[in-house]
Structure 1
Amino acid sequence: MGRVNDLDRDSTALTSFSALLTAEGRALLDLDEVREADPARELAVATRLRREHPAELVTAVLAQARLRRRAVAKFGAQDAGRMFFTPNGVEQATRTSVAVHRAESFRSLGVRSVADLCCGIGGDAIALARAGIAVLAVDRDPLTCAVARANAEALGLDGLIEVREADVTEVDTAAHDAVFVDPARRGGRGRIFDPEAYSPPLSWAVEAARKAPHAALKIAPGIPHEAVPAEAAAEWISDGGDVKEAVLWFGTDTPSSHRATLLPSGVSVASSLAEMLPDPAVRPVGRYLYEPDGAVIRAHLVAEVAARVEGGLIDETIAYVTSDALHATPYAVAYEITDQLPFGVKKLKAVLREREVGILTVKKRGSAVEPEELRRKVKPQGKNSATVFLTRVAGAPAMLIGHPAVVD
């Protein structure tokens, strides 16, 4: 009975989506009052439109408009305004900046065709096609395939993107230069952390990658390093300082290596596993504190950044680097430290009051104290700003106060 209900829901969802692709559905999606309707006005818009159009269609149109507005953050206003989405598609799709970076990486390898397995709504397929790469986009969900097909058409890329509804484990990829696999990492209970619980499992994806001339497997950034195959080049990618994903590359000239890539600049730092530097030594807090980018930390390349700034760690378990010198580096944000204090709310409150600090940025690493909780307790007031780091220094809870450093 459950399977029948699932099929009924799938059929209903596909019928509802198909209605959006009709002339009537597209005309409604193009209405300014639909595109720009905020929650406060949506009921009034819906009421008016239902006088002239089927209620089910109006509901689907307004839901799609909401998804498009959510998608702007990932796809940009121009593309999001033309594309189609599902709730899961918006949530799980690759951000355009990351997809473009990956597509350019494939193109630099000489790849001309890619089998995009678990393609979702087509975010990566779009970036690959725009890089001039032919794409076979495969997914087993009928609605997802319909959305991906509609997106390829909406963006004028259907000549380069073939969407196929199939089980990715049964697709022959031999005719393609490369394979890209983006396994589902969410289930009924939320995010999946065990790579073997991905759909398909990471072990299957690795075997598929090994059979292809080139391959990339998208994985969660928190994957245990011991789960990375020895022949893979692992890349952690951040965008605007936020870690977005990790990728295992096969068929490159840098196997058994780790790389951190920072977008939007595209700068990267890398090291082969055999040549990775040992952890930096712990040293006293110097004049400057460096906060490495999250991708650098995930890739275990903090030592490489510490060497570039002539620094060491403030604690053997904390990824903050300290140095007496100020160096320009894209891989970490530098702060000039003015005070080092044992942890204590009263002492911090007194210092902030004395400095007339009203704008307080609270960062933490290795501390159980929540930033908002601390901010409520110290009640910053004044015309000046400061940053406080809640952390550990040589094993002891500490507070470091400072401000962003300016490199001449």
Structure 2
Amino acid sequence: MTNTADTVDLAHRLAPGATDAPAVSAPDRPTLTHGGLRRLIRETVAKMNALGLGRGDRVAIVLPNGPEMATAFLAVAAAASTAPLNPAYRADELDFYLSDIGARAILVARDEQGPAVEVAERLGIRVLRLLVADDAPAGSFTIAGDPVGPPAAPGLAADGDIALLLHTSGTTSRPKLVPLSHANLAASAEHIGATLGLTSADRCLNIMPLFHIHGLIAAVLSSLAAGGSVYCTPGFNALRFFHWLGEAKPSWYTAVPTMHQAILPRAARNADTLAATPLRFIRSSSASLPAQVMAELEATFGCPVIESYGMTEAAHQMASNRLPPGQRKPGSVGAGAGPDVAVMAPDGQLLKPGQTGEIVIRGPNVTAGYEKNPDANASAFAHGWFHTGDQGVLDEDGYL
């Protein structure tokens, strides 16, 4: 999928399925097809261009979890650069992120009047409204708002254009801004699809937040790029999980370990739903999955649990355990699953299996570098590899 912008229309790359094949569904909503999603992407690009927004412009998206958040990310990114932000951010946080991103516009829900609107107006950032018609298919929307400037050059984004801007967590320092190109995202979606054997028959139940790389790429983009579909919930709710499972009839879901742990105690009272909804596999990422939880999930759902390792700078997936007949090792995040993965000593030497050092990666899914942060780039890309900052060891099978 990488470097194909000149040969494959971006709308078809994001939604390559048959015209009437399901693409996006949600609780109590009609399903949006791949043909409908392609049309939505093209219409959104035309609207954004008419509003004066195009390639290189930055649009922050502050929407609740759900199908419109998923499709807005895809459709707006096809015209400009997107920056999904947590709707729960406080005014001071929004001020920092919107300023650091350099947003020209912000996309919010029709009736949104919270701090996102107040901060955007104070910063002189145009506020666009996402409108959803009654009985519209899941993810369908139109955009209303005043032009940001004269019409932008029309057209779909290219592989080298920035599709997604996300900040690192910044728990110990100022958050770093990570730009990810369309080529980065396409490569990552292809890597995940290949690792999980995704096809048009697969449907992902998404319970992950869509302002985070895990949900955006592993759940939404990889599913759609494989011609499959994604069922978009309003966000994680352990009390509603099995109801959604029964309604969506997915073939898989992906989550963080705390979500898996919250689901397990409720499985016994939902035995009928479990029996009627067999999963092909379950995926876990973003934190270490305890071996006991992995075993309980496999016993409860009767399917393999695949633990993966990802980070924002890699457009998510770096390593992953494998589906049968491949190996999955409790306590390991798996072998390289897309990019090259190695363990490096402080002097830049690659270490042998069994030796502990810093995990480093390189590949088409990896960001070209942090924005406006030359010092961070100098250390992060030393010795020709991206340095994750994590310590690890490879075993004799190449599992991390």
- TM interval, short-chain normalised: 0.3 to 0.5
Q: If each structure's strand is expressed as a fraction of its own residues, which one has the higher value?
A: 1
In our comparison, the structure showing a higher alpha carbon Rg is 1
In the superposition, the TM-score normalised over structure 2's length comes to: 0.34
In the superposition, the TM-score normalised over structure 1's length comes to: 0.33
Q: If each structure's helix is expressed as a fraction of its own residues, which one has the higher value?
A: 1
Higher relative contact order (CA 8 A, sep 6+): 2
